[in-house]
Amino acid sequence: MGRENLPQISIPPYILRIKPYVPGKPIEEVKRELGLKKVIKLASNENPLGPSPKAIQAIKEYAAQVNLYPDGGGWRLRKVLSEKLGLERENIILGNGSDEIVSLITRVFLREGEEVIIGDPSFLMYSIDAQLSGGKVISVSLKDFRLDLKKMKEAITSKTRLIFIDNPNNPTGTIVKEDEVRDFLDKLPPHILVIFDEAYYEYVDDPGYPQTLDFVKEERNVIILRTFSKIYGLAGLRVGYGIAKKEIIAVLNRARSPFNVNSLAQVAALASLEDEDQVKRSRKLIEEEKEFLYSRLRKLGLSFIPTQANFILIKIGKGAGKIEQALLRRGIIVRGMAGYDLSEYIRVTIGTRKQNEEFLGSLQKILSSAG
């Protein structure tokens, strides 16, 4: 890497070693690069139904006030969220997406040489943020595509500081359950903070899904992360939140930049919370379309991992990377899994019926011409 072009300031090797996060390609980029008119993005688990009309209205109404700085403390949004969750405002921190809270956590709680335990594969940002703090990432392989909490607990040492439990786990869509999580938390040493990333919380329908809010109410060393990016359809606005006991939130607040969540994001999030129909509609769509995709994938002879989120991990086989590219040329963006060490798989966001049919139709054509 062009080290000689950098200013003469020492950059630690652990930062130079970081592989940047590669997000799903934006629609405009694919149109531009491939000269396509119509592109469907099924790569970043966005909500195909869009945001709540109430959120759009709130943004319009607030637009003329963007000359003013946002409420840096997010007073109203934190108040409404805390009431909804049966907690207090001091139990909540807002972030520029829940991504930002992951980075606040590693900056505040992790020093060089200390360890972070994550699932392998799991959401890539945990590892990137841990490395930025000079942390050592301890990856624990999944078992049957689920986080292996037993092995993760066995990986704890005196240097462990953070354990990330991505639930549902991205990219597999699987969950760990209440009893497993209780066992995991039992007798955990006090120098450890457990983060439950629940970005897909609202989509889960398994009754065994853990009630992690109880862990916060029990004053345990846990942080729950949730977001407006997924079911609420506000990914472009960047707003998520962390839930924890007051002492943890207070210390995270020291690292937060004063206006981290913009005012349009705040009003849109508030309006979204008032639109339960939007959430119900979105959940219903995923429930139905999940079954539709399952049955069509079975007919195509493809295996997949049953999901609790709005995406499906599909096994394509050796040529998965080529198939991802062939789909792209047909204007369908899915997520290749080479970066997650699952090179025979693709991860596909569940879309509308029309989008899913286009994806399946293209996939079928590509597979039959390849075979």
Ligand X SMILES: *Cc1c(COP(=O)(O)O)cnc(C)c1O
Binding flags for ligand X, 280-299, as an x/- string (CB under 6 A): --------------------
**Distance (Å, whole) CA 296 – CA 84:** 38
Q: Which residues of 135-144 are buried (b: 16+ CB within 10 A; e: fewer)?
A: bbbbbbebee
Nearest-approach distance from CB 104 to ligand X, in angstroms: 12
**Nearer Cβ to ligand X, position 215 or 232?**
232
Interface residue with ligand X, options 138, 175, 199, 273 (CB under 6 A): 199
**Distance (Å, whole) CA 188 – CA 221:** 9
Nearest-approach distance from CB 26 to ligand X, in angstroms: 14
Nearest-approach distance from CB 4 to ligand X, in angstroms: 35
Question: What single letter denotes the amino acid at residue 334?
Answer: V
**Nearer Cβ to ligand X, position 128 or 235?**
235
Interface residue with ligand X, options 106, 172, 229, 356 (CB under 6 A): 229
Q: Is 173 in the site for ligand X (CB under 6 A)?
A: no
Binding flags for ligand X, 79-118, as an x/- string (CB under 6 A): ------------------xxx-------------------
Q: Is 221 in the site for ligand X (CB under 6 A)?
A: no
Angle at the Cα of 204 from the Cα atoms of 202 and 210, rounded to 5 degrees = 100
Collect all residues with Cβ–Cβ distance below 8 Å to 236 and sequence separation of at least 6: none
Q: Is 201 in the site for ligand X (CB under 6 A)?
A: no
Sign of CA dihedral 262, 268, 274, 276: negative
* Helix, strand, coil distribution of the chain in percent, nearest 5: 45, 15, 40
**Nearer Cβ to ligand X, position 135 or 240?**
240
Tell me the CA distances in angstroms from 270 to 38, 57, 58, 212, one per residue in order.
33, 12, 9, 23
Binding site for ligand X (CB under 6 A): 45, 97-99, 123, 166, 170, 197, 199, 227, 229, 235, 240
